[in-house]
Amino acid sequence: TGHHWGYGKEDGPSAWHRQYPVAKGNRQSPIDIIPDEARRDSSLGPIFLKYDRCTSLNISNNGHSVVVEFNDSDDRSVIQGGPLDNPYRLKQFHFHWGEKGCEGSEHTVAGIGYASELHLVHWNAVKYKTFEEAATAPDGLAVLGIFLELGDDHRWLHMITDALYMVKFKGSSTDFKGFNPKCLLPSNLHYWTYLGSLTTPPLHESVIWIVLKESIVVSDKQLGMFRLLQFSGEEDGQRMRMENNFRPPQPLKERLVRSSN
Ligand SMILES: NS(=O)(=O)c1nnc(N(Cc2cn(-c3ccccc3)nn2)Cc2cn([C@@H]3O[C@H](CO)[C@@H](O)[C@H](O)[C@H]3O)nn2)s1
Ligand SMILES: [Zn+2]
């Protein structure tokens, strides 16, 4: 209903504040991470990704990205440790990407962008009854961010790119069972962490961000498959290639970025 947000000139990130005033809030994401200014914190232990019993359900095009959703009715797949006080349940993962290799990620590192960024979205089911309730609480969500850089083919990403033709248009969805996102993780889980927000409307300031320092490598061919997706629905007249679905870095304000060892 009403004017919907997007990534275009008129409805893109610079316009979101009109409908979502929190866009100019004090803990907005993404940010530019400056490694030299991050505080190494010895109290920050390792993160643990317990995805072995995860249950992927479907892959869909929500008009903003391609999303793989998981069964989050129990603690079968959780992230814990690091800055988190308790386990957070895996709900979905999705990607952000550009139209060319040098930009597409949401977080940047010392001003440098990556070709894409993978977000694994988790919610605090210990303290909150539903995702929606958690999504409006300051410690409700934990999003794991993983940078994608261009190089050789990623040996497992084809499992996702092979399914993209089935979700070309906004509103399309198809079964996607048996996918474990563990295969998309880099070899080590060193990270930066800070308090931030959703990077798409409603931009709730409810996210504990955990951004991995090590990126994964995917090929330009594989990333190009994501650009076959459309922002628009099948019936929409004009073709709207899905690309540049990333929000630029937001002011750090009074925040501290911490670094794991
Ligand atoms: N770039 S990122 O920072 O990581 C993300 N940016 N957005 C993300 N999601 C969208 C979203 C919507 N809401 C929300 C919460 C309360 C009221 C209204 C909207 N919070 N996050 C994550 C996401 C949401 N959903 C679905 O949102 C519906 C509400 O829109 C909800 O009824 C469904 O139960 C839930 O499944 N799926 N994923 S993540
Ligand atoms: Zn995201």
Secondary structure (DSSP) of the chain: --SPP-SSTTTSTTTHHHH-GGGGSSS-S--EE-GGGSEE-TT---EEEE-TT--EEEEEE-SSSEEEEE--SSTTSEEEETT-SS-EEEEEEEEEE-SSTT---SSEETTB--SEEEEEEEE-TTT-SSHHHHTTSTTSEEEEEEEEEESSPPTTTHHHHTTGGGG-STT-EEE--S--GGGG--S---EEEEEE--SSTT--S-EEEEEESS-EEE-HHHHHHHTTSBSS-TT-SS--B-----PPP---TT---EE--
1, 79, 121, best to mutate for ligand 1 pocket (most atoms within 8 Å of CB): 121
Tens place of pLDDT for every residue, the chain, 261 residues? 556 999 999 999 999 999 999 999 999 999 999 999 999 999 999 999 999 999 999 999 999 999 999 999 999 999 999 999 999 999 999 999 999 888 999 999 999 999 999 999 999 999 999 999 999 999 999 999 999 999 999 999 999 999 999 999 999 999 999 999 999 999 999 999 999 999 999 999 999 999 999 999 999 999 999 999 999 999 988 889 999 999 999 999 999 999 998
Protein residue closest via CA to atom 12 of ligand 1 = 202
pLDDT at 238: 83
pTM higher than the cut 0.90: yes
Query: How far does the centroid of ligand 2 lie from the alpha carbon of residue 158, in Å?
Result: 20
Protein residue closest via CA to atom 8 of ligand 1 = 198
pLDDT at 3: 66
User: Taking a C-beta distance cutoff of 8 angstroms, is the pair 230, 61 a contact?
Assistant: yes
User: Taking a C-beta distance cutoff of 8 angstroms, is the pair 179, 157 a contact?
Assistant: no
Query: How far does the centroid of ligand 1 lie from the alpha carbon of residue 198, in Å?
Result: 8
pLDDT at 121: 99
Ligand 1 atom index nearest CA of 247: 1
Query: How far does the centroid of ligand 2 lie from the alpha carbon of residue 199, in Å?
Result: 6
pLDDT at 51: 97
